[in-house]
Structure 1
């Protein structure tokens, strides 16, 4: 008899209420104030608001696909304003847009149902992923709408949604603003005394045309904050809370300014091969080094007040650099929080170097007007090293390293110059990722980088510090070249997992007794027998991504894995018989929903698994507050504990290489340091609860969605190590996550899931990862009859490379593993 842990009461739980209240209180830290002429916060005398835009009533809580969360409620901006006592005066305009959305949804749903009827439910999910519903363009705003609004204050909510399975397009209505949006914003900006633009988006949009419009008093990047978005935004608009977020990406003035713009994903018509020819020059590393001015730089964000940052001291030894700063709120009205960002500039030698790289950061507490705080921020000397493929080592080249202190990547001051007299290695490794074909990377040699008027003066007058190269220690890595062999030492005893837990035997001694068939079955997970791609329903936790296999005679029980990373994605309402047999109905993935019958059989029981939709990863990262992120991780961990979910398939931590990635909202940043710190913090929060763990994904170089299972990422070893693996390394070392998920794509001709050096040599040998490695879902299963340039990953090679689990897997995967062993294809 199956045990279900979900509550049977349909009433909102105290846990739901507490978690929503907590996120509401924290969410302002995740919002980025891009522009403000003093209009925000709105005064208490403002009672009526003219509300427009596609996100006003249809506010996006988070993206689509497996990153979606089935929460009980989603608080839209309109609802948030009205619950706070403000009157929304544009009901007619909002109602007209409702009709447009309803018609578009009906058309979309009819098409989806037709696909399912003809090709089956799995085909329906694939259609939903590859052709996500996009809400229709807004209707025009008329002078009549404005006249009848009866207020001098207007708010326009511009929303965008995207998700798993499809990248965005550089077209109007997606990356660019639609003509209808621009026309409405121009008219509103010219018609209202106070006009505020809210960006309800999970990824970058083109703001160049926006910034040319006169009369926009404030632009607030509210992001996608989960199911309480409307409440949190209202709090910020009227000053109950204050925004303190900073951008985690560079917002270019033109999409073509991004170095990967021409060849990214579908942009050149080739989704089979992705060439990372920009090398290490990703995000601000590129814009700064090649002196391209963005609309908004990395780390940028205003506040309702102003701050001063004064560097008090900088010290260095062979291990750490410490920077002590005083931050003061120099405003007279509003409180606020500031983020101190420290960048380093390394000398160019045999290795090219970016203009600067983020090395450390810290955020103040909430400072009242006139209040101050002293922060001491430290980071390892070795973090200033670059990877040399020639030496197969992390290397600090001789020369001068500059320490820059400020509150955004283009608002810093050089405060110290550290001299290193000779080149030193910090870690000796071996090269793991040879290129499968030649590729020329862009070069910054003879390029004039970004600079500013006082930079030369600051270099000449910076505090001089010295590093003794003989004091910097060299770390040597020991690699495992062969798998260990375990022999059964206790043939007369049948070892169980409980005896291993009680330390009567070791796990190796248990493994030695298992047959090849048993081990293969344990390595291949399940979706719960009755599950489809739609439901992904684990038996004990319906709607979860899957369960691992069991071995009853050994006492090995399954563990449950659930999607993320914006909360748990579970079936919110399901039904079972009196004997606890799960009944069909309730499965949901976006628009693909199998409704529950109005009533079940006699004696059946209804269960409820409503989860909290937390802010998406990009919004969390915009807080630059690791304590906040850890706290929100605890929210997820608590819900995992309640529903008996063991591994959360999150955090997503791929790099924002290009703004068109459909899944960027699931990831933190263009910067690997910030990415790694955020993932470590979220992991610490989840794993605060014993028995619950995170799954870092997607490992690695999974940076676009189109053709994601068959794309070959051609990328240099240095670029991989400095940009695309660095965040994973930081998270592993700082938080000891219980799991890692390998990605679908190939890396230089080898599937990530089949890559021994990625899984064993890098993660386990170099970083010390000691948890479970699993594949992404169906990685070695052919889901369609489509023909691709590259094949799916090999099931036996997944195991040989070091994956402990293939999820959810199939009988064919088990058979392939057993056959490979029998044929002598041993690791």
Structure 2
């Protein structure tokens, strides 16, 4: 008996159901695509690097990259005038290069600061282009090892230092090298990047989690078991590297050391090897900066770079190291055991104390030496501002050129090239202020600097250095002279010194006894309002620092600035224990931090702002209109609530289009070394510029401005307006994971460079997001909102200084706030920081974006980044890079929130109005993937509808026949 056939009626019903289901699926998919349209668009967005405009901009950038590297390489040592190694095109100088990293160097850093260097010039190519013949046999032997550069990234870090064991350097291999050349170059490299700080101990205590760890102290791996050594840190010779150095110095008497690292490398061991004649440092050189390494070694470029950090003999000796890294707040349980303190968002409470105060880098070493607390030569290898040349320069103050009145200081310095080859020099002017014991002060601070042009042998150039008298004032956070805090120029003798570097004096320029000036009733000339303590509620009270380092009695309290103790804590489930360094707090402190992090104050506004008005205004009408002009109200009144919310909550790598006011969408891409499409499918970036350390090492502000201009020109060619750069946090220690993308330990050097890059980029119509504002000077626990404690003197004089320059001199139009907390308050929710200091005091006009934000829609990656607190404190937009995932929901029933949304929209619209987005009329064309989707939708819907029509027609014909 055969199967019973399905009736035609039933078949038609099933067919219709399937077609109807397909129609529902199509609509459902389109709804999902609409929800995820922004992240899909970001993923498929590509930068056109082949257009005529792009090619021209990229070619110009490449030339500048090499110019920056030419001037940013620092010659640290050159005994017996070993360098340069003369070579010619017809008579190439042969060199051996030892060190596996020569085959796989460091071009920059990782994370959001990473760039595409797949086509970058290699060190080998750079040497060969300069006329050297590299020992290919040795080079290929390293390649044959098939070693890989370990990953140091945001999803876990492998801190293995790749280098073969000492047995690699066999007698035969060394004989081949000696037969090839009597010159050896040792090449050592160190990596760093976003997500973790560099290890201060290679103890192998941490294990690697294959899934990695987003930002914490775990998720790390140490390979090469013979390299594991608890007494060593990542920034000194590993055991394997030491074996290589021993083998090389045993066989060669002319050795050149090249350190390829943006983090200050510990070099005291060099003193033990007389064979090492010359030492060069090259930070991440970017796309073609290794060409410069070859030119410097060959002498076709005379090195003129200077250090931007002090090179300590022992990097673990600095006071800042005593409070750097992972520290937990600990609570005592009822049974006497200890547990880590967590906030109500289940985030562990971590902290870092800036107890060294203003004594960071050279400020500590120079002051301690002047107080007789240390032997400088034993503690410091190379001073701040130090670098050698292949020629000699004489610097002398031009007679009668000094001008020092109540407001300004200016002096001219004549620089003469007394050597035999052309070169450039850096002129450094320092000052010392009287120490009375009331305000902490470094014994010496750099006040101004300048880079000469190239000076031919026997010729001279005169440069002018100037700064304001008020720049020598200290900040009185402890209210020794002021009622509310403020800047104070203490009475006493002030001195000016012309220096080769922070330690070597050329000449005393002048000294002057100044009367006391307290900037409390009147502001400093560069401030829009008088500076007073704005962060007291954040950085004082329980949990804050009890003892700050003081130079009194030769830094007698140095032993007291480390309050951390070791506790054995229980895991959350109580099954395991571990030892942590931290501080004991009680439940009241945890409750207080929770309140600061999560409690949204009650409304103060009794009415909502006007929305949805029909005033006929367009954003293009407001180009050049001051942000405080009342005419903005008419435009802002046109915004709907949805307009304001969309503009504010979708700030990841873009700003959205608002048709109601004629605002185009913009693209805002990452940095800081190039324009990079960080989330795109195709990892394409602009030309990779050198790391910020190398840029700063040029001490050439003009080059920094040119860098901004070049990247700005590239951005224009890619259709990009905003740039998440420059980054300008402080090298508080040598171990900061992102030191490669920050300029210096000194705020003047960092600030002048950042201001120049900012000015250059924005001259092309874009806007920078200077970052990370503020005190984001370590990676450890940053995304846990690490409570960063410092008094306001330390914050203002050291850590805010670069940002202040970028605003006042660079005119920065946008800011990225930081993950960490300033004291007990998330930086993005600190009105004292964002509104009072940044806007009201410094005069910033523009918009403020968060760092990467995922805290909404059921996702609480960083729950302490509370939207309502941030928007009310002045954080205008949110970097929701994976929208709609993690996008916050605005409480639009709150009048205070609505007014804050209006103010944020005002700041954003003002920024866009004064950018090339309006001037050049950026395209808002429908993305290609959307066009394809629409086409597919049309075909599918028509096909489904056609199928339904055919089905119903057949049904109707059947019914007509039956009738």
TM-score normalised by length of structure 1: 0.81
1:33–1:220 contact (8 Å) kept in structure 2: yes
Per-residue CA deviations over 1:409-439 (Å, capped at 9, x if unaligned) read: 0012322111113444364322111124342
State how far apart, in whole Å, the 1-side matches of 2:452 and 2:53 are. Answer: 39
CA contact (8 A) 2:68 2:695 kept: no
Give yes or no for the alignment of 1:160 onto 2:235.
no
Residue-by-residue CA offset, 1:42-63 (whole Å, 9 max, x unaligned): 0125521111213312121101
Distance 1:382 1:661 in 2: 31
Structure 1 gap ranges (5+): 109-125, 450-481, 528-545, 575-584, 589-608
User: Secondary structure at 1:260's aligned position in 2?
Assistant: helix
Q: Which secondary structure state, in structure 1, belongs to the residue aligned with residue 58 of structure 2?
A: helix
Partner of 2:490: 397
Q: Deviations over 1:34-85 (max 9, x none)?
A: 0002011101255211112133121211011111111451111112223344
The partner residue of 2:450 within 362, 365, 386 is: 362
Q: Which of 27, 30, 40 is the matching residue for 2:72?
A: 30
User: By how many angstroms is 1:323 displaced?
Assistant: 1.6
Instruction: Report if aligned partners of 2:669, 2:678 keep a CA contact under 8 Å in 1.
Output: no
Query: Over residues 171-230 of structure 1, what are the superposed CA-to-partner deviations in whole Å (9 max), with x where a residue is unaligned?
Result: 447212111212212332332242111111111111112232220010011221101132
Q: Does 1:272 align with 2:350?
A: yes
Contact kept in structure 2, 1:155 and 1:195, CA below 8 Å: yes
Equivalent residue for 2:476, pick from 388, 392, 400: 388
1:376-455 equivalence runs, <5 A = 376-389=464-477, 390=479, 391=482, 392-412=485-505, 413-425=507-519, 427=524, 428-434=530-536, 435-437=540-542, 438-439=544-545, 440-447=547-554
Determine whether 1:145 maps to 2:173.
Answer: yes
- 2: CA distance, partners of 1:766 / 1:484: 29
| TM superposition shift of 1:506 | 3.8
The residue number in structure 2 matching 1:801 is 873
Find the counterpart in structure 1 of residue 767 from structure 2: 693
The partner residue of 1:652 within 724, 727, 739 is: 727
What residue is the counterpart of 1:69 in the other structure?
115
Aligned equivalent of 1:592: none
Gaps of at least 5 residues in structure 2 are 1-36, 203-231, 331-348, 525-529, 557-603, 901-963
**Which residue of 1 is the match for residue 745 of structure 2?**
670
- For residues 888 and 307 of structure 2, the distance between their equivalents in structure 1, rounded to whole angstroms, comes to 48
Post-superposition shift, 1:361?
0.6
- Three-state SS of the structure 2 residue aligned to 1:735 is coil
Deviation sequence 1:559-595 (CA, Å, 0-9, x none): 21111111112379x8xxxxxxxxxx43x4xxxxxxx
Find the aligned partners of 1:571 and 1:796 in 2 and give their Cα distance. Answer: 28
Per-residue deviation, 1:447: 1.6
Between 59-68 and 136-145, the greater mean CA deviation after superposition: 136-145
Deviation of 1:156 after TM superposition, in Å, equals 1.5
* C-alpha distance in structure 1 between counterparts of 2:411 and 2:281, whole Å: 30
Q: What's the secondary structure of 2:256's corresponding residue?
A: strand
Equivalence for 1:817: 890
- Contact 1:656 1:664 (C-alpha < 8 Å) held by counterparts: yes
> Is 1:224 equivalent to 2:224 in the alignment?
no
Deviates more, 1:355-364 or 1:4-13: 4-13
**Pick aligned residue for 1:338 from 425, 429, 438:** 425
Corresponding pairs, count = 721
**Farther off after superposition, 656-665 or 227-236:** 227-236
Could you say if the C-alpha distance between residues 4 and 87 of structure 1 is closer, same or farther in structure 2, counting changes exceeding 3 Å? Answer: closer
Contact 1:520 1:818 in 2 (8 A): no
SS of 1:817's equivalent in the other structure is coil
Q: Tell whether 2:98 aligns with 1:52.
A: yes
Question: Over aligned residue pairs, what C-alpha RMSD do you find?
Answer: 3.1
What residue is the counterpart of 2:951 in the other structure?
A: none
Seen in structure 2, the aligned counterparts of structure 1 residues 699 and 165 have a Cα distance that, compared at 3 Å, is same
Which residue is equivalent to 1:520? 645
Aligned mates of 2:310, 2:860 — CA distance in 1? 39
Q: Does 1:233 align with 2:278?
A: no
TM-score normalised over the length of structure 2: 0.70
Q: Does 1:87 align with 2:133?
A: yes
Residue among 822, 830, 833 paired with 1:758: 833
Shift of 1:21: 2.6
Higher helix share: 2
User: CA, structure 1 residues 408+7, in 2 after alignment: closer, same or farther (shift >3 Å)?
Assistant: closer
Distance (Å, rounded) in 2 between the aligned partners of 1:499 and 1:421: 50
Q: Secondary structure at the match of 1:175?
A: coil
CA distance in 2, matches of 1:302, 1:502: 47
Pick from 394, 418, 433: which aligns with 1:308?
394
Contact 2:186 2:258 in 1 (8 A): yes
Q: Find the counterpart in structure 2 of residue 281 from structure 1.
A: 359
1:777 aligned onto 2:864: no
Q: Tell me by how many angstroms 1:783 deviates.
A: 10
Shift of residue 819, structure 1, vs aligned partner: 5.0
Distance across 2 between alignment mates of 1:248 and 1:776: 27
- Deviation of the 1:803 alpha carbon: 1.5
Partner Cα distance (1:815, 1:442) in 2: 41
Corresponding residue for residue 595 of structure 2: none
Does the 8 Å contact 1:499/1:505 carry over to 2?
no
Of the candidates 700, 703, 707, which is equivalent to residue 632 of structure 1? Answer: 707
How far apart are the structure 2 equivalents of 1:316 and 1:751? 42
Q: Residues 394 and 610 from structure 1, CA distance in 2 versus in 1: closer, same or farther, beyond 3 angstroms?
A: closer
When residues 143 and 371 of structure 1 are mapped into structure 2, their CA distance, relative to the original with a 3 A threshold, is: farther
820 and 618 in structure 1: CA distance in 2 versus 1, 3 angstrom threshold: farther
User: Aligned partners of 2:897, 2:60: CA distance in 1, in Å?
Assistant: 56
Give the CA deviation at 1:406: 1.3
Shift of 1:785: 7.9
- Offset at residue 495 of structure 1 (A): 3.6
8 Å CA contact 1:261–1:267 kept in 2: the answer is no
Structure-2 change in CA distance of 1:784 and 1:86 (3 Å): farther
Following TM superposition, by how much is the alpha carbon of 1:820 offset from its aligned partner in structure 2, in angstroms? 6.5
Q: Shift of residue 351 of structure 1?
A: 1.4
Three-state SS of the structure 1 residue aligned to 2:689 is coil
Measured after TM superposition, the shift of residue 307 of structure 1 is 1.3
Partners in 2 of 1:196 and 1:627 — Cα distance? Answer: 31
Change (3 A) 1:135 1:229: farther
- Shift of residue 500, structure 1, vs aligned partner: 4.2
| Rounded Cα–Cα distance in structure 1 between residues aligned with 2:677 and 2:298 | 35
Distance (whole Å) between structure 2 residues aligned to residue 688 and residue 727 of structure 1:
20
- Aligned equivalent of 2:257: 197
Q: Hey, what does 2:568 align to over in structure 1? A: none
Give the match for residue 662 of structure 2: 555
Shift of 1:731: 1.4
Q: Does 1:42 align with 2:85?
A: yes
Q: Using the alignment, how far apart are the partners of 1:352 and 1:129 within structure 2?
A: 40
Q: 1:10 to 1:763 in 2, by over 3 A?
A: closer
SS of corresponding position for 2:100: coil
Q: 3-state SS of the aligned residue for 1:341?
A: strand
Change (3 A) 1:143 1:335: farther
